[in-house]
């Protein structure tokens, strides 16, 4: 594995010698859009791609940025780390100035070292794994969504304080995102002292039958389940829990809160809770962005559309403020200049986390996720 990584980094170094230096594009600003555009998790990546394309079209129609047109280069990674590294290499070889993405935390982690070596900033709409910003390993990484430690604390507090849970089963999909959320949920449940974690276990993504782990949940007498992972596994878990008449709350993270879960889980989705980005639909900028989307596509925008739209707005503002795509200039602008976006007025802190964003708890009511006040 180490040899493979070294070979890829050598390739990046060679590519940087033959490509124009980042920040000196003569006629266009190239922005890579990396995420799952096909596969089971495409519902999380396509809204960001569409958001970026919309913002680019609007900016170009108004004359571009610094007199240059914005060129969007979508790159599919299917939320798979092994594909994400190849996607990142391809974007670097295409000479992108910045990247919007990746979407899933595991894929983001796999790609960030490649961008770091190429001196490219990436702004993710959805990669919530805390170490991506908190470890200091990826100073070129930014995000327009809050990290999982915030989300895990909210899920734990909601389960104990609002639902009154005393025995909590915490399940996860073993991935960077899912297990990270589960770890923080466990930490905050135990720190709160109001409930006991009676089961902490991983499930295998893609498996058809989760009856064994569901039996363990029943055997331990759990009165709530917190799950870390994405909607394909969550859909199967809630369906199989319902088939066994296990009427206990199910709480997932933002990887569950989306149309993908509603479509697959169907009637089994009703009553499920999920943490997700705060509802910003009252903001004029958000209303305008979503109205434009509905006018263009004839449907409501999907999961992470707001955060993808904001990421694109933030990076284009930084390019304009700094006068180009030079790394140091973009870094300074992102961390010092507030910008009005689809998720509100934001800038980024020293670690790369957006200031002014956060999470809420939602519940499926009447086939839709509704924010709980």
pLDDT for 117-137, tens place per residue? 999 999 999 999 999 999 999
Q: What is the pLDDT of residue 16?
A: 42
Residue range 30-35: mean pLDDT, rounded = 98
pLDDT for 291-342, tens place per residue? 999 999 999 999 999 999 999 999 999 999 999 999 999 999 999 999 999 9
Please tell me which residue, 26 or 51, carries the higher pLDDT value.
Answer: 51
pLDDT for 234-285, tens place per residue? 999 999 999 999 999 999 999 999 899 999 999 999 999 999 999 999 999 9
Q: What is the pLDDT of residue 68?
A: 97
Percent residues over pLDDT 90 in the chain: 92
Virtual CA dihedral for 187, 192, 196, 202, nearest 10 degrees?
A: -20
What region does 187 belong to: left with phi over 0, alpha with psi -120 to 50, or beta? alpha
Structure tokens at 358: 């956060």
Contact 251, 274 (CB under 8 A): yes
Predicted confidence band of residue 6 (pLDDT cuts 50, 70, 90): very low
pLDDT for 69-114, tens place per residue? 999 999 999 999 999 999 999 999 999 999 999 999 999 999 999 9
Q: What is the pLDDT of residue 356?
A: 87
Q: Which domains does the chain have, with CATH numbers?
A: 2-145+282-357 (3.40.50.2300), 149-253 (3.40.50.2300)
Predicted confidence band of residue 286 (pLDDT cuts 50, 70, 90): very high
Least confident span in 24-38, 140-154, 193-207 = 24-38
Residue range 60-65: mean pLDDT, rounded = 97
Contact 271, 238 (CB under 8 A): no
Q: What is the pLDDT of residue 79?
A: 97
| 362/345 Cα distance (integer angstroms) | 23
Does the structure show a pLDDT above 80 at 4? Answer: no
Q: What is the pLDDT of residue 26?
A: 52
Q: What is the pLDDT of residue 27?
A: 86
Q: What is the pLDDT of residue 154?
A: 97
Does the structure show a pLDDT above 60 at 23? Answer: no
Alpha helix positions (H), the chain: 2-18, 42-61, 81-93, 105-117, 131-134, 148-157, 176-192, 211-219, 231-243, 259-265, 284-297, 305-322, 327-336
């Amino acid at each position: 594995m180490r040899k493979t990584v070294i070979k890829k980094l050598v390739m990046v170094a060679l590519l940087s010698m033959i490509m124009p230096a980042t920040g000196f594009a003569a006629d266009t600003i190239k922005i890579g859009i990396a995420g799952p555009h096909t596969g089971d998790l495409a519902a999380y990546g396509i809204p960001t791609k569409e958001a970026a394309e919309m913002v680019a079209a609007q900016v170009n129609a108004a004359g571009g940025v610094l007199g240059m047109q914005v060129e969007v280069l979508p790159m599919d990674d299917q939320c798979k780390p092994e594909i994400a590294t190849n996607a990142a290499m391809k974007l670097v070889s295409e000479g992108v100035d910045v990247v919007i993405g990746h979407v899933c935390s595991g894929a983001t982690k796999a790609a960030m070292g490649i961008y770091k070596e190429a001196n490219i900033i990436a702004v993710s709409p959805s990669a919530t794994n805390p170490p991506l910003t908190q470890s200091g390993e990826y100073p070129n990484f930014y995000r327009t969504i809050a990290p999982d430690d915030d989300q895990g604390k909210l899920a734990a507090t909601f389960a104990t304080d609002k639902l009154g849970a005393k025995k909590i089963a915490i399940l996860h999909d073993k991935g960077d995102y899912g297990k990270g959320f589960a770890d923080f949920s466990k930490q905050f449940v135990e720190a709160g002292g109001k409930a006991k974690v009676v089961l902490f276990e991983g499930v295998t993504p893609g498996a058809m039958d989760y009856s064994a782990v569901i039996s363990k949940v029943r055997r331990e007498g759990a009165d709530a389940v917190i799950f870390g992972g994405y909607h394909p596994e969550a859909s199967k878990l809630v369906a199989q829990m319902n088939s066994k008449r296990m009427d206990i709350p199910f709480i997932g993270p933002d990887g569950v809160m989306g149309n993908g879960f509603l479509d697959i889980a169907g009637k089994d989705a009703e009553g499920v809770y999920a943490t997700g980005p705060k509802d910003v639909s009252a903001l004029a900028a958000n209303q305008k962005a979503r109205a434009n989307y509905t006018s263009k596509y004839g449907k409501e925008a999907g999961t992470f559309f707001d955060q993808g739209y904001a990421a694109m707005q933030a990076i284009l503002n930084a390019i304009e403020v700094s006068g180009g795509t030079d790394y140091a200039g973009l870094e300074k602008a992102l961390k010092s200049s507030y910008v009005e976006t689809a998720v509100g007025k934001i800038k980024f802190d020293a670690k790369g986390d957006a200031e002014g964003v956060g999470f809420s708890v939602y519940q499926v009511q009447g086939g839709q996720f509704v924010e709980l006040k």
